[in-house]
Structure 1
């Protein structure tokens, strides 16, 4: 599979050839010592890892981005010999990458982990896994996250099971990110952006089998296994994707153990019928589960059970004008259990001194119908409708009165029906105008009879809210005559209905009301996006900047609540947001490339004055890469500035600003050897100098594990890993 950038020559460097001969055969063959078990709390020993990485370092650096194009449908592509450290836009405001390619830091455990390699993304850290993605400082349902075309919203009122916690990136073929309110095709409310994890339709000219697989071993007991098996012929195919990932508690740079262990697995089966080259009927069923321990929460996740079912139909080339019709129906069920006694001992000084468990469930059903028309080479249009409906319910128990014996209590139903149209007008060979419009009918019903930790009658019991929400955008793109460059400017507007976590999770609503259901108004985001891309054989440079105004921005505020915990209030304010991402990649020589990316985001609370909370700090990434074909190696230097612009005790349903954060820098190395075009071994070391640091977007450590009220959870210390990838 070719790179987006021109492929480097595969001739072998004399220097690297000499270094290869210097590496002992046993290390060349295995890369790591198999006799070193990775027990809980113990760091990996690098006696065998360092020689190979150290010898490869003179050839080193972080990788160029993987292909922006989908995997070939009729020919098996050779393996990439790169590691993802950052990705560049494939087109204005759109990033496309292959999530099967390993990334650095250590290959992703979930969707949020992988998104962090894209400039502009960060995550609210939970510890080992299940972080919550943030794009340009925006969080939650401002990001429309789709898994194979359907949303998979979690059930936890505090988003312990964020939508990306149910996504294993290696089970998908493409990750597509559209930044900003610059598409209306993929569901409501995407004011910050749209994220799509997609699988391609396999095509066979004759009966055959294809396989992608990987195994990973790393520090702190990390071990992953993934398999993607497809077999079929011209008319039928079957595909099985499965993965398992596990890690024990890690240690920070000071050697302190951070409660963070997790274990998760996913399996999906897809059956397809392709009666001709233009038609696809597809049925997919999947399930998964896992558990995770959290240093920053008062309970752990002991179940993340997912059940999914979807059917899809697509027909292309129906006529001279009607080019495609597509339809999809889906069912997604998230059953999440959290407790304070399975993966820890209850804290007798906390608000939950006794063993407690809660089971929350969210079932989402929906569908999408769309058609694409094309008139000559000048104009194309996609239009259609989508709908979704969610039901949320819960039950609770203790160690002696299991939650399984309790009756379910429904608290919320939410729905959305949307109509959309998006088209492109090619004014000439150099100019394009892309525009879209969307209209959503959103609704929510409050089924709760009581609210609060000390239950009181719910004043909105049985009430139903509805809203009609328009959205749209227009973007101008121009390819320059004098330069191999494209410039663009787009203006978008999105109206977003408050989501489940904003309507039902807060203790209080605006103006001191007893809940947020009645008082929160829909957000209205208007944003300008501008940017440019420049690309030659040697130089690839891009910049993307934005400025926006958010009317009725939904903000959480927290006040100490003593033994009952913090009291949260959700209210509307007006906000201004701005920021930029830029990147450059330069080929110094046929096998050498250096690169850099920079991301900045800022927000101001225009109603109260001061900054918006939960804004990621300025982040710079410097990388270099050497690729001789069989061998490649890289270095990534990540530099994050201090963040002093904070709004104390304000944030979102997951986290709040509890203080300024310090800057930090970490260095990571990777090296890859391709035994053939089908088998490769990748070695990596993250946080090479064993720095002790924490991310700004973080949860305060839980007192049950000995943390203070405003002590952030530190990141892992030095971590080594090895990943063997096979493709046939």
Structure 2
């Protein structure tokens, strides 16, 4: 009922926008416009500064507009997603999975609950309901949490300041092949002192057909609604309270169960004060509470497979409650800026399960894990000379985890020898980076060295059946992961040509890897530590050619090797994107060619917290086209065809098809959608 009510509200708002009043002027800093009418359809993102990507997630993009955070991140070179069907893929940066990537929504931690990461954090993020996506690659910031060896991702909402009483209404609607139907609403009202903002979306799709015409179980239906209420006594001060909720369901061709509940409830409070005189320049603090209630079953969106591992109806209900906060002070002088603060987070994971349809509802909740973390950080930007900069930061985290499981072992539970035990670790992180602008040229180069230590997360401590040899289980034996990485690169920003390249090389001590097959070839899930080396690079160029043409391209490569010479499992293959766009200010058109190489550096017996390496994969090339028409300064219509030539292909990072949907016992990757047409209308009033 909640989802239907939301859809009705969004539809009514979109249909009434043609009669809305003009938007009044807004004070600074203002909430960014919902639609950047000067931009063509986004096919890739480029860095705006050293190792930092900033983009507007509401812009039209290709492939078809994203249904979740992981899908949107794929437009950034270096990112990929482990696929399992139509939605809720798991984001991957430079071949690194899980909590090596720090994922924040509204500057609060949002954690999934499924032991197999069916509902990773990005499953609960609707990109178009956020104003800004900021990415920092590598261990090159300490401001937003420790352990982020791969990088930090922040989906942010801006403050809608008003310098006069007014109302803003923005929205979009998307329709596409395979029954895809999305609506987004962003409404704000206020005056110079107070404001209220509502962001809501609904996204749905049926099963898609791959390039060979085969139906892939992949349907989903999800919705989100968030409201914020703020007090702005002056343009530099805000006190905001927020509340949010959402739910959905999704079919998974690559899993033994489907997700039939993705319930999210969020509360937030933030205070910001900027523009202060003296050494203290700004104050920022926030509190958040996020609750996730997730249900998996094998009977709501499919029929149980009588020949499979789960022949009868069964369901599992898991929940993850997260509470946290952050406070930071910004200081500044003539040639330096310093940010310093503290953050903390606690979380509790609980579960219940039962055989039979909906029988889990009669079972009591059992808490199986508790986590606590507290950290202090400081980051300095020192302007050595007009064209030379030194950026450095350090933080220390104290992390604790408690095992509350009475038994372990999955289908054949055994008494848990670590019941009631707790682990605590002190985890340091630091980095230093030198940046220099080349005199007389629009060129900057940088070199940075970073180190971070990461506590094993819930999925690494509690999901495996076994731990390292000699350990009672993964909780008792898996050690923190420590990464030391060198990042180098340069960026050229000329009048007609922009180009960039970034490269990295790192050593991961006690890298956490999963064994999915034992020495006898039997299926298992054992987590253990092993040292590893990683390296790779990303590069891009954009050329403003003659007339209204823009040509571009990006390249991304990641490589990893475990001690002993084994390939690091599930590394994404070499990928290139070539794009061409034409834009005369009213009409625009573009094309995107995505070329992915074959991957033969694999370790089929190994994997990570997300899943098993499925072995070698073939390369492929996919060609897509798009176009857009600026109806006026407030409306834009965009359309595209993804996979124009209906190529039948599968991503290397993937899950194996489940037997309940007729897939064979030998691992077969889930194939991607065939030819897909889409149309998206953006409006702003």
TM-score normalised to structure 2 length: 0.94
Q: Distance in 2 between matches of 1:411 and 1:75?
A: 44
2:475 is paired with a residue whose SS is coil
Q: How many Å separate the matches in 1 of 2:339 and 2:522? A: 49
In structure 1, what is the equivalent of residue 18 of structure 2?
none
> How is 1:224-235 mapped onto 2 (pairs within 5 angstroms)?
224-235=182-193
Equivalent in the alignment of 2:20: none
Contact 2:29 / 2:235 at 8 angstroms: preserved in 1?
no
| Partner Cα distance (2:467, 2:514) in 1 | 9
CA contact (8 A) 1:366 1:389 kept: yes
Select 2:268's aligned residue among 277, 286, 310: 310
Alignment-derived partner of residue 316 in structure 2: 358
Moved over 6 A (4+): 74-77
**Does residue 101 in structure 1 map to residue 59 in structure 2?**
yes
Task: Map 1:55-66; keep pairs closer than 5 Å.
Answer: none
Matched, 1:329 2:301: no
1:618 pairs with 2:574: yes
Shift of 1:72: 4.6
* Runs of at least 5 residues in structure 1 that lack an aligned partner in the other structure: 1-69
Q: Pick closer, same or farther for the CA change 1:561–1:157 going to 2, 3 Å.
A: farther
Matched, 1:510 2:510: no
Which of 428, 435, 441 is 1:483 aligned to? 441
Once the two structures are superposed, residues 264-296 of structure 1 have per-residue CA deviations (whole angstroms, 9 ceiling, x without a partner) of 000000000001122100011000000000000
Match of 1:639 among 592, 595, 612: 595
2:10 aligned residue: none
Partner in structure 2 of residue 654 of structure 1: 610
1:263 and 1:291 in contact (8 A); partners too: yes
Q: 1:715 aligns with which of 667, 672, 675?
A: 672
The answer on whether the counterparts of 2:107 and 2:156 sit within 8 Å (CA) in structure 1 is: yes
- Cα displacement string for residues 520-565 of structure 1 (whole angstroms, at most 9, x for unaligned residues): 1100000000000001110000000000000000001102799x99
CA contact (8 A) 1:584 1:595 kept: yes
Shift of 1:175: 0.2
Which residue is equivalent to 1:539? 497
3-state SS in 2 of match to 1:206:
coil
Computed over aligned residues only, the root mean square deviation of the Cα atoms, in angstroms, reads: 1.6
Please tell me whether the aligned partners of residues 561 and 567 of structure 1 are also in contact (alpha carbons under 8 angstroms): no
How far did 1:77 drift?
A: 7.2
Shift of 1:76: 8.4
The aligned counterpart of 2:421 is 463
533, 541, 544: which one pairs with 1:584?
541
Contact 1:74 1:203 in 2 (8 A): no
Alignment partners' CA distance in 2, 1:303 and 1:85: 32
Task: Pick the aligned partner of 1:550 from 492, 497, 508.
Answer: 508
Paired with 1:511 and 1:479, the residues of 2 have a C-alpha distance of 51
Contact 2:223 2:248 survives alignment (8 Å) = yes
Which one of the candidate residues 526, 531, 536 is aligned to 2:484? Answer: 526
The match for 1:90 is: 48
Contact map agreement 2:34 2:58 (CA 8 A) in 1 = no
Displacement of 1:316 after TM fit? 1.6
How far did residue 161 of structure 1 move?
0.1
Secondary structure of 1:518's partner?
helix
List aligned pairs for 1:224-263, cutoff 5 A.
224-263=182-221
SS of corresponding position for 1:112: helix
Aligned twin of 1:152: 110
CA distance, structure 1, for counterparts of residue 537 and residue 91 of structure 2: 18
How far residue 626 of structure 1 moved from its aligned partner, in angstroms, is: 0.2
SS in structure 2 opposite 1:330? strand
- Where does residue 631 of structure 2 map in the other structure? 675
Work out whether 1:286 is the aligned partner of 2:248.
Answer: no
**Which residue of 385, 388, 393 maps to 1:436?**
393
CA distance in 1, matches of 2:35, 2:164: 17
Distance 1:687 1:605, change over 3 A: same
Partner of 2:25: none
Query: Quick one: structure 1 residues 162 and 75, their matched pair in 2 at CA, closer, same or farther if it must change by over 3 Å?
Result: closer
Q: Say yes or no: does 1:383 pair with 2:364.
A: no
Q: Is the 8 A contact 2:517 2:606 kept in 1?
A: no
Would the aligned equivalents of 1:507 and 1:514 in 2 still touch at CA under 8 Å?
Answer: no
Report the Cα distance in structure 1 between the residues aligned to 2:395 and 2:358, rounded to whole angstroms. 48
Q: Find the partner of 2:640 among 684, 688, 694.
A: 684
Verify: 1:412 aligned to 2:356, yes or no: no
Matched with 2:17 is none
Relative distance call for 1:561 and 1:573 in structure 2 (3 A) is: closer
